[in-house]
Amino acid sequence: MPESPPDLVDTKPAAKLFVLATRLLWRDWQGGELRLLFLALVMAVTSVTGIALFTDRLEKALLVESANMLAADRIVSGRGELPREVMTEGQARGLRNAETLSFTSMAFSDTGNMLVAAKAVTEEYPLRGDVIIADAPFVRGRPIQSGPPRGEVWLESRALPALGIEVGDTVYVGEAEFTVSNIIITEPDRAGGSMVDNAGPRLMLHMDDVAATNVVQLGSRISYRFLFAHDDIDELDAFESWFRDQEQWRGRFYIRDVRDESEEVSEALSRAESFLLLGSLSAVLLAGVAIALTAKRYSERHYDYVAILKTLGCTSTQISTIYLTIQLLLACIAVVVGCVLGWLVHQGILSLLQSLLLVELPAAGFEPYVIGTLTAFICLLAFALPPLLALRETPPLRVLRKDMSQQKIGANVPYVFGILGTIFLIYWYSQDLVLTSVLVASVAGIALFLSVVSYLFLRSSGSAGMKAGSAWMLAMTATRRRRSQNVLQVMVFSVTIMSLLVLTLLRTDLIDEWQAQLPQNTPNHFMMNITAGQIDGIEAFFAENGVESNAFYPLISARVTHVNGDVPNPRDEDEDGDGANTITGGAQLDEVDVDPQAAAALAGGDQAGADQQSAGNQLQSAGNQPQAAGNQQAAGNQSQAEGGTRVRGRLSRRQVTWADEVPPDNLITAGTWWGSEPEAGFVSVEEEYASWLGLEIGDRLEFEINRQQISAEVSSFRSVRWDNMQPNFFIIFSPGTIDHLAGTFLSTALMEREQKVLLNDLVRMFPTIVIIEIDALIEQIQSIIAQVTSAIELISILVLLCGALVLLSCVSASLDERFHENAILRTLGAGRKLILSSLLIEFAFIGLVAGCIATVGAEASLYYLQEEIFEQEFSFHYWVWFAGPVLGMIIISGLGMNATRKVVKTSPLNVLRQVV
Amino acid sequence: MPAADNGASHTMIETRNLVKSVDTSEGLLTILKGIDLRIAAGESVAIVGASGSGKSTLLGLMAGLDGATSGDILLDGHSLAEMDEEQRAILRGQLVGFVFQSFQLLPSLTALENVMLPIELKGDPDPRGKARQLLERVGLDERWHHYPNQLSGGEQQRVAIARAFATQARILFADEPTGNLDTATGGKIIDLLFDLNREFATTLVLVTHDERLAQRCDRIVNLVAGEIAGESSPNSITEGRDDRGQEAVNA
């Protein structure tokens, strides 16, 4: 048949190739060839998109919610009346603004009276969040974005029975008369209020009515606040730096933002963010490994395919085009499916958290989808493309000679791309060069270690297995024969199991720690200024009413005057004045002036410790933390210059106590606690405070207490958990040392919401005691921690799924060879039982080795992560040393057996025909 | 491009002092030691020889599936030595069809799609119609939608033969086309192969151990240890084919 001479220019139109590629894609899809690869891609996109969407929205929400805690974006507060220029400047900069003024006052009705925490607000209040009000006491309220109008006040529920009034009745504050128009259930900045705000039930009134009451006069104990808000964070920052530049206000007026509000919350959040980052990184990495494995297997199964295509006249370029098209199509579908699933996952997380989230979450941006999409393509490029592109090198002669191997594909080439892609992804996610290099270096180290160890493990297995029965021998020789393949498998298995162990343990430790930090039964009310004579009465009152009450701590103000006979010389703390100023509130003490006694108790006499943000903070440091004090010192260079004594005097005045036993959550870090028959004259010091003062065990300390000199020997150092919202002390004396000096007592109680009305009776029975209500604060922290915990749980599940996928693809990758080999064994007369048990032993052995290595790796990584990033105490997880290997064995052999079940079910002839 | 005689009698395949060596662990192994062979258009040649005599290697080289160590091959006047793998692939697509011992159908395509594939790759019109026609011709029109693993060996080889003729290749290389089939099925396949070969006036080169198959060819080339040890012409009806191209020069 005559024909024109063939044209050696490539004439196949691109459209034909595309059609061919789609057809191959469809066929491979139907044949199940692409399922795992597709699943891996979808997994990568789903986890990244889901996590990104969730964190995006959660971050926005938490920002909003914490802004609500302040009722503003920035707050200016301080000693005495605030300079008007601050307000003028804020207004000039276009910031929304409001003013509040808190003071304690007596409120009177026709039938009763009580001490209330009054708060006057301007019309604009609150700038963020809602005030929740109701028509009747003790009911669920409705949100409103203002305070009471002129002439009206809103009262907190429990004030009504105490005053014997109802909504609509009249109350008197000072010289003014008001109508109680609403019940105030809560206000946004209730938990973040000052000392004054925690001194009794709230009475909220309009700012313009304050003058008429005539209770606020020079010298009154008043907390002034300017509130500012703006939607542009840059404007806020500019305003803040303007404020900080005003030298004349330094040490007297302070600006704060949401981040400073609660140390516990911000720490929980930053840890949660680290965890989420780590979780999503693990998910991407695991999905990447799954993609690499499945793509490699896919390529291997396509060598013949490509050889045939080549004999049919396909050029290498066309081969690449076809496979590139297939992968891109696959990636596009995976991106769409993954984004949808990711959206669903984040919706799932949200619906779980619905009850906990107090605010409507702001809509997420489109960035999470972009991130998910890019991840899919980067994963594909880094992990899947190299083996697929290697296909073009398939020699066509393979159609004639099966043994023609892929000579040109260096086994390591794909991994180079994978590693580079991984590094890029990590950097891209974390945006942190240090974290990236540390992670890359440690993973590389672990990989190297693992490969050496697993190689040695498998090498030794040969001789070990020879003496056993035949299934054992078969398995061991098989394991040894596929050594290089198995080393890779063990590596993949161990890295996967390791990641899962690390995340699971980290998650457990984090959640445990959080829950231990503020357990459900954390006391939420503090009672101070209790005299020794009142203790029995209070205990009886609580027992009668079913309230859980706690130990009574004696409380007395003391000042360190000499260390070993010398004037104390505290070390300078290397602290940033600004930061700590805001966080531990080293300085906002001046609003605290409730009552000289209570103030002394709270602020530790020197008033340096009264942390205005939360009464809890003040209490935990019944005398402030060294850092905060150090800041105070740093902030007030001037006073240091004037004379060291004054600074030291201020710094070392503390609320001290004495005790028989070590308080809960305290650990002796050096020296010994006094025994069951304690001697007088000893003192136990908090370790950081001790190191700040440069103390050593056996040092002699002299104190000035109630104008008397007391001397005591340092017998132990203690570590204290400052974040447990419980009374904590820097200095504890042994019993008998200072008992004779009159002091007051401090105690705590847990009162549920419905029990709060009991406070009225308590105050009536013991009018001198001061009650600090921190229930709102604790509740808020607990709810945020609960949210974060649920988020972490969900991320862990996602990562677990990714890990399962990797294990599955790794087992499948080794399947073809086993299939063929076992089919031959069966034709040679090996029974099902023999093959099954040999397979079981082989997989179990690989799983055991991987589990052991994973356990070691997990503990090592955890040590690093907890010490360096999560700032947790690392402790060995003994059960993991047993569970890791056993789990590895069970999981791998389970997956392996399930996947290779077909080997023994299909007839050998079929296997041999198909797999040739 | 070298001029080719435009007649039934021109040389379709020519090898010139063809040498193929491979590196092995025991040093350089020369598989083919200077093969000179001319095959005329329309001729059918069987290459026979013991296992390891180099006959499959020779087939692979002639089909352009692999590169020679030295020497040259001319396919319809095109020198393979001057081409890279890309160009050889295009030439294969234009000129060459294959039938393999192990059928080499793409397992994920149906019988019909397998036959359509080379037509699509070549860019010829109406791949579906042509493929259906060919499947009908090999007696599989009922089973066009079946996948290779749903077909018997004989049926798979029929599909392979249909695919080989799909682009109206002018040269057909067959590697043990009956090697995987029983005698009866193999016989039918041989008949089919030669019928189609005659119909399409293809040049057929096959490697085989099957004496019946070799006997059907115009010429039998006997390969021993990488050299042509002798040739014979079976007593077959050549239907007036010109014999000029059968002069094979023994090295």
Query: For testing the chain B interface, which of A312, A401, A907 should be mutated: the one with the most B CBs within 10 Å?
Result: A312
A6 and B91 in contact by Cβ < 8 A? yes
- Model confidence band, residue A415 (pLDDT cutoffs 50, 70, 90): low
Report the gap between the CA of A349 and the closest CA in chain B (Å): 40
| Residue range A9-25, pLDDT digits in tens | 445 567 777 877 887 78
Q: What is the mean pLDDT of residues A166-171?
A: 90
Which among A27, A318, A400 has CB closest to B65? A400
B168 and A315 in contact by Cβ < 8 A? no
Which among B1, B76, B120 has CB closest to A20? B120
Lowest mean pLDDT among A427-436, A529-538, A703-712, B121-130: A427-436
The residue of chain A nearest to residue B103, with distances taken between CA atoms, is A399
pLDDT for residue A74 is more than 80: yes
Whole-number pLDDT of residue A170:
92
Whole-number pLDDT of residue B48:
92
> How would you classify the pairing of strands A770-773 and A553-563?
unpaired
Query: Is the ipTM beyond the 0.85 threshold?
Result: no
The residue of chain A nearest to residue B97, with distances taken between CA atoms, is A312
The residue of chain B nearest to residue A28, with distances taken between CA atoms, is B108
Report the gap between the CA of A313 and the closest CA in chain B (Å): 4
- Chain A residues contacting B via beta carbons under 8 Å: 1-3, 5-13, 16, 19-20, 23-24, 27-28, 30-31, 33, 304-305, 307-318, 395-397, 399-401, 913-914, 916
Whole-number pLDDT of residue A634:
31
Whole-number pLDDT of residue A394:
77
What gap in Å lies between CA A343 and CA A345, rounded to an integer?
A: 5
A8 and B104 in contact by Cβ < 8 A? no
Amino acid letter, residue B53: S
- Model confidence band, residue A361 (pLDDT cutoffs 50, 70, 90): low
Write out chain A residues lying below 8 Å of B90, CB-based. Answer: 6-11, 313, 315
The residue of chain B nearest to residue A913, with distances taken between CA atoms, is B149
Partnered with residue A658 across adjacent β-strands are: A733
The residue of chain A nearest to residue B197, with distances taken between CA atoms, is A1
A396 and B108 in contact by Cβ < 8 A? no
What gap in Å lies between CA A56 and CA A431, rounded to an integer?
A: 15
- Model confidence band, residue A481 (pLDDT cutoffs 50, 70, 90): low
Write out chain A residues lying below 8 Å of B104, CB-based. Answer: 304, 307-308, 311, 399
B121 and A309 in contact by Cβ < 8 A? yes
Most confident of A373-387, A505-519, B75-89: B75-89
The residue of chain B nearest to residue A23, with distances taken between CA atoms, is B109
| Residue range A745-755, pLDDT digits in tens | 888 888 887 78
Cβ proximity of A236 and A257 under 8 Å = yes
Interface size between A and B, measured as CB pairs under 8 A? 125
Write out chain B residues lying below 8 Å of A317, CB-based. Answer: 86
Q: What angle do CA A516, A521, A525 make, to 5 degrees?
A: 115
Whole-number pLDDT of residue A827:
65
At A896 the three-state DSSP class reads helix
Q: What is the mean pLDDT of residues A435-443?
A: 69
Report the gap between the CA of B93 and the closest CA in chain A (Å): 4
Lowest mean pLDDT among A11-15, A147-151, A786-790, A910-914: A910-914
Domains annotated on chain B, with CATH: 44-64+84-237 (3.40.50.300)
Residue A151 is classified by DSSP as T
Whole-number pLDDT of residue A619:
39
Report the gap between the CA of B44 and the closest CA in chain A (Å): 15
Which among B83, B121, B175 has CB closest to A314? B121
Which among A2, A27, A312 has CB closest to B6? A2
**Residue A187 exposed, middle or buried by CB count within 10 Å (0-12, 13-18, 19+):** buried
Residue A705 is classified by DSSP as E
pLDDT for residue A470 is more than 60: yes
Which among A8, A27, A397 has CB closest to B90? A8
Cβ proximity of A655 and A554 under 8 Å = no
**CA neighbor of A524 nearest in space, from A556, A547, A552:** A547
Cβ count near A113 (within 10 Å): 14
Whole-number pLDDT of residue B2:
43
What gap in Å lies between CA A606 and CA A593, rounded to an integer?
A: 12
pLDDT for residue B203 is more than 90: yes
Write out chain B residues lying below 8 Å of A395, CB-based. Answer: 65-66
Whole-number pLDDT of residue A757:
78
Tokens of B197: 């070969």
Cβ proximity of A537 and A728 under 8 Å = no
A13 and B123 in contact by Cβ < 8 A? yes
- Model confidence band, residue A191 (pLDDT cutoffs 50, 70, 90): low
The residue of chain B nearest to residue A33, with distances taken between CA atoms, is B108
B56 and A401 in contact by Cβ < 8 A? yes
Q: A696 or A601: whose pLDDT is higher?
A: A696
A16 and B120 in contact by Cβ < 8 A? yes
What gap in Å lies between CA A607 and CA A227, rounded to an integer?
A: 24
What is the residue-averaged pLDDT of chain A? 73
Is the peptide bond preceding residue A570 cis, with omega within 30 degrees of 0? no
| Residue range B86-130, pLDDT digits in tens | 888 888 888 888 888 888 888 777 889 888 888 877 778 888 899
pLDDT for residue A705 is more than 70: yes
Share of residues in chain A with pLDDT > 90 (%): 7
Whole-number pLDDT of residue A413:
54
Q: Which residues contact A778 (CB under 8 A, 6 or more apart)?
A: A518, A522, A524, A616, A725
Which among A1, A2, A311 has CB closest to B92? A311
| Residue range A671-700, pLDDT digits in tens | 888 877 778 889 998 888 888 888 889 889
A396 and B83 in contact by Cβ < 8 A? no
Report the gap between the CA of A337 and the closest CA in chain B (Å): 24
Tokens of A900: 């290779």
Whole-number pLDDT of residue B239:
43
Q: What angle do CA B99, B102, B106 make, to 5 degrees?
A: 80
Residue whose tokens read 């997420």: A364
Report the gap between the CA of A467 and the closest CA in chain B (Å): 34
Write out chain A residues lying below 8 Å of B93, CB-based. Answer: 312-314
**CA neighbor of A667 nearest in space, from A735, A719, A595:** A719
Cβ proximity of A261 and A613 under 8 Å = yes
Which among B87, B104, B168 has CB closest to A399? B104
Chain centre distance of CA B93 = 13
pLDDT for residue A642 is more than 70: no
| Phi, psi angle pair for A467, to nearest 5° | -80, -15
Alpha helices in A482-589 (DSSP H): 483-517, 535-545, 577-583
Report the gap between the CA of A471 and the closest CA in chain B (Å): 32
Q: A823 or A587: whose pLDDT is higher?
A: A823
Report the gap between the CA of B30 and the closest CA in chain A (Å): 17
Which among B76, B106, B123 has CB closest to A12? B123
Which among A3, A312, A318 has CB closest to B118? A312
The residue of chain B nearest to residue A316, with distances taken between CA atoms, is B86
Tokens of A406: 């892929």
Query: For testing the chain A interface, which of B6, B23, B104 should be mutated: the one with the most A CBs within 10 Å?
Result: B104
HEC string for A368-410: HHHHHHHHHHHHHHHHHHHHHHHHHHCCHHHHCCCCCCCCCCC
Whole-number pLDDT of residue A817:
63
A24 and B108 in contact by Cβ < 8 A? yes
Q: What is the mean pLDDT of residues B135-147?
A: 87
Q: B4 or B211: whose pLDDT is higher?
A: B211
- Model confidence band, residue B60 (pLDDT cutoffs 50, 70, 90): confident
Whole-number pLDDT of residue A792:
74
pLDDT for residue A194 is more than 70: no
- Model confidence band, residue A659 (pLDDT cutoffs 50, 70, 90): confident
Tokens of B70: 């030295």
A23 and B168 in contact by Cβ < 8 A? no
A16 and B123 in contact by Cβ < 8 A? yes
pLDDT for residue A120 is more than 60: yes
Whole-number pLDDT of residue B14:
93
Write out chain A residues lying below 8 Å of B163, CB-based. Answer: 312
